[in-house]
Amino acid sequence: MAHVQKSGTAPDAAATNPAQVAFVAPQPNIITQRVQPAAPVTAFAAKPVTVPPVVQASAVASIEKNISSYLEPGSKALVSAKKVVIGRGDTLMDLLVKKAAVPRQDAYQVVMALNKVYDPRELTPGHEITVFFHQDPAIADPKFSGVRIEKDIINAVTVNRQGNGSYTVNEVEKDVHRNLRGFKGTIKNSLYEDARDAGVPDAVILELIKMYSWNVDFQRGIHSGDKFEVMYEEYKTEDDKLVHGRGNIVYSKLSLSGDDMPFYRYTDKAGNVGYYDDNGRSAKKPLMKTPIDGARISSGFGMRTHPVLGYTKMHKGVDFAAPRGTPIYAAGDGVVEKIGPFSTYGNYIRIRHRNDLKTAYAHMKGFRAGLRDGARVKQGEVIGYVGTTGRSTGPHLHYEVLVNNKQVNPSSVKLPTGTVLKGKDMKSFKALVAQTREKFKDLSHTTTVAVANNQR
């Protein structure tokens, strides 16, 4: 555990739906190879927790070390910890004095010391604080020793009493460990539901779907009996708490009707991160095949009986039925050419990807905040949400692809492949592919690697 000493001490007392694919009998394991940290832990955007983890033995040891300097030679202090919970309307001062029985002068000094690195006003109802006391045989009553506040799942701040009665403040980072976890199985019904039941995190499932959405039509390209593999990073603190918001897929493979489609995460020499197949071709294509998660095709491109008008009419797009509010993604990089209510389309967005290629999205509930005519969007970026505005019988996305301003069948559009690795990048990538395959084969043991504090 790393301790960062902050300058200064407090004054003493005398001063101051996704896509539909699924696992059958998945086999989760943790990879055995030692792996290097992918990024400094300080870059993590760890979600704050309401109730922090239990007090670690190292925290108690730190308190004991601090108070040992002013005990009589040969004395042994017993450090005890008391947990108190912030209530509605509580201040830190009130909490320490009234709930933890800390002397008011000591409580005041703790607050003053803490202000150097942490604003006590950030404490919210339900947040738990650990208060330390020590008992020495030469002293009748337990003496207040310090306080520990968990700022988030990785970071904490402690205030410790020194021998001269002043208080020092320390920021503490927990060690973080990186594991590789692997799952494999046979596709049967629903990727989202069954993969989640098997233990695959929601974020991994959604990332997997997005990764393949440029290459796979999840409505028509997935069949019972197809195979599935995925290996991803998982970060945990020293007290086994999962660090949310980080951990990437490093390898995946869909075997569809006997055709393997593997992708590997690779960072090129310029620092760009992407997913590539065995031959170094990017998974990313000019247009995604499915610009929405977890939807079903309710109406394809071509002649149909119009559900509102009641007569046969050309349907110049593809309809994806999905719950109201489901995110809609930009099918490719481009510029918003039109946004707003438009004829019978209701809320409508049209994106220009190049002079001869555009996509359109209709019947939306609403648009992403800040989106406007002329705005640039990235492929896979949320642009709006499923609704039923305009001439519509229920929540769905009407999606069109336009070539030379004429609607065409999205499945018939022939587009070039994405980036292809070359030269030194290709050589490095081939080495990574071999290493990754070996890692995935060996899924029977566990090796956890600490992310050293000096690498953060």
Backbone angles phi, psi at 368, to 5 degrees: -60, 140
Cβ count near 80 (within 10 Å): 14
The full set of domain ranges for the chain reads 49-150, 177-285+422-455, 296-412
- pLDDT for 393-430, tens place per residue? 889 999 999 999 998 988 777 776 678 899 999 999 99
Q: What is the mean pLDDT of residues 46-58?
A: 38
At residue 222, the pLDDT reads 76
pLDDT greater than 60 at residue 133? yes
162 in Cβ contact with 68 (< 8 Å): no
Cβ count near 39 (within 10 Å): 15
Query: Please, what CATH class does the domain formed by 49-150 belong to?
Result: alpha beta
Q: For the chain, give the mean pLDDT.
A: 76
- pLDDT for 322-332, tens place per residue? 899 999 999 98
Which range of 152-166, 194-208, 348-362 scores highest in mean pLDDT? It is 348-362
At residue 307, the pLDDT reads 62
- pLDDT for 330-358, tens place per residue? 998 899 999 999 998 999 999 998 888 99
Band (pLDDT 50/70/90 cuts) for residue 166 is confident
Which is it for the CA torsion 157, 160, 166, 171, positive or negative? negative
The domains spanning 49-150 and 177-285+422-455 adopt the same CATH topology: yes
Band (pLDDT 50/70/90 cuts) for residue 36 is very low
At residue 56, the pLDDT reads 52
Pick 296-412's CATH classification: 3.40.50.261, 2.60.120.260, 2.70.70.10, 1.20.1440.230. 2.70.70.10
Residue 319's Cβ-side half-sphere holds a number of Cα atoms within 13 Å equal to 21
- pLDDT for 216-256, tens place per residue? 777 667 788 888 888 999 998 888 888 887 789 999 998 88
pLDDT greater than 50 at residue 75? no
Q: What is the mean pLDDT of residues 83-108?
A: 87
Pick 177-285+422-455's CATH classification: 3.10.450.350, 2.30.30.830, 3.90.1150.10, 3.30.830.10. 3.10.450.350
At residue 194, the pLDDT reads 67
Band (pLDDT 50/70/90 cuts) for residue 371 is very high
- pLDDT for 106-126, tens place per residue? 889 888 888 888 888 888 888
Backbone angles phi, psi at 202, to 5 degrees: -55, -45
